[in-house]
């Protein structure tokens, strides 16, 4: 991390929340607030003069709201990160999806308790890891910019003339068997940066994919339904927020509901979705590990598992189980991740079949099904 602290501008029309946000941010090592603003117009003036690295901003404000302000920030200062603050309702969840599509780094739901200490703790729990992830991304991008990556020329494999015809025959039979064994399901684990990344991948999947897609996106309740609606409007596949005990259908994308766990149940010779209130795993509810375990049990080697941008390591344990069953594993590469957390451990563990940039993930999925 740079020796200079990361500068944050706090934008909210409520003095109460400006104070809470500043208090939380100033407790984070290497981070400090450099100013506040009560609406978008003031915020743009402060961005211009103070040059923050990060803006933490409410969606609803007088004179100029968060969406319009975000649009101006991304147009004039594209490298500045923006974290949105959203209310917990259907209307705001749709606006939040729009903000994420416009380039917001992430969002936090605004606490609704009348207890200030409880509000402070909720904001701290959500905001601190998010800002740390932003710092890490900033550090990685700075390193990548400084590095000059040499062009790697792939050596041509030597021509082997001593392979017996039996050996060649067996090898070709193995390749053919692997080719025939197509996946029957796609399971995706994703977190920070997920809505934007999914908006790249899911619309590229064809209407005749002929397998279901199961997604765990770390999000609170309400917001996952807005994500499903947003993706459904962009995609050839049907995209829904999953419901309890519905039968899994091909050519449908199921998104785990926020605040719940989702798994596959195949105990009665059919595959259905189960939505449970089981405890969080890896501090996540929904959890990718929770989904991946059930997919490993019900689909085994006929699975394509995809791990994408996000904080933490949720999904790693489930991917190891899937790998042991013979599943195909695709990981998003570091350069295109908003946060290179969730793909890191599986890649470093050597259990990933394909490391892919975001734009190519849909193509890699299609190859397996």
Task: Report the catalytic residues.
Answer: 191, 218, 314
Residues whose CB falls within 8 Å of the CB of residue 25, separated by 6 or more in sequence, listed in order: 8, 10, 31, 32, 33, 56, 127, 131
Pairing label, strands 81-86, 303-307: unpaired
The answer to whether the CB of 262 falls within 8 A of the CB of 291 is yes
SS3 call for 86:
strand
Look-up of token digits 């994500």 = 227
d(CA 88, CA 111): 8
Q: How many CB atoms lie within 10 A of CB 362?
A: 19
d(CA 78, CA 33): 20
The answer to whether the CB of 225 falls within 8 A of the CB of 90 is yes
CA–CA distance from 121 to each of 55, 111, 113, 124 (Å)? 20, 9, 11, 5
Alpha helices in the chain (DSSP H): 15-26, 40-50, 66-76, 90-101, 116-146, 165-180, 194-201, 223-234, 288-298, 316-325, 344-349, 361-368
d(CA 113, CA 4): 35
């Amino acid at each position: 991390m740079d020796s200079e602290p990361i500068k944050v501008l706090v934008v909210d029309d409520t003095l109460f929340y400006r104070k809470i946000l500043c208090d939380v941010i100033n407790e984070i090592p290497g981070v400090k607030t450099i100013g506040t603003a009560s609406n978008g117009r003031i915020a743009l003036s402060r961005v211009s003069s103070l040059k923050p690295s990060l803006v933490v901003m409410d969606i609803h404000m007088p004179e100029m709201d968060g969406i319009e302000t975000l649009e101006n920030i991304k147009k004039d200062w594209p490298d500045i990160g923006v974290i949105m603050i959203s209310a917990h309702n259907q209307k705001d969840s749709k606006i939040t999806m729009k903000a994420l599509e416009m380039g917001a780094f992430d969002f936090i739901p605004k606490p609704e308790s009348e207890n200030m200490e409880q509000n402070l703790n909720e904001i701290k729990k959500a905001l601190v890891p998010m800002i740390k992830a932003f710092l890490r991304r900033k550090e990685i991008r700075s390193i990548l910019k400084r590095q000059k990556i040499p062009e790697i020329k792939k050596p041509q494999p030597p021509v082997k003339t001593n392979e017996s015809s039996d050996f060649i025959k067996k090898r070709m039979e193995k390749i053919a068997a692997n080719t025939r064994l197509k996946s029957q399901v796609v399971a995706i684990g994703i977190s920070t940066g997920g809505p934007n990344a999914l908006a790249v991948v899911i619309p590229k999947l064809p209407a005749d994919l002929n397998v279901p897609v199961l997604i765990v996106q770390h999000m609170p309740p309400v917001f996952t339904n807005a994500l499903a609606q947003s993706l459904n409007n962009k995609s050839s596949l049907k995209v829904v927020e999953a419901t309890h005990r519905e039968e899994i259908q091909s050519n449908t994308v199921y998104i785990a509901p926020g605040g719940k766990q989702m798994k596959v149940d195949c105990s009665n010779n059919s595959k259905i979705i189960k939505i449970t209130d089981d405890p969080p795993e890896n501090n996540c509810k929904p959890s990718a590990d929770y989904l991946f375990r059930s997919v490993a049990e019900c689909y085994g080697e006929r699975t394509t598992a995809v791990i994408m941008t996000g904080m933490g390591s949720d999904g790693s344990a489930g991917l190891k189980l899937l790998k042991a069953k013979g599943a195909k594993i695709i990981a998003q590469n570091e350069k295109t991740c908003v946060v290179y957390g969730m793909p890191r451990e599986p890649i470093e563990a050597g259990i990933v079949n394909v490391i892919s940039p975001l734009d190519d993930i849909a193509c890699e999925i299609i190859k397996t099904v």
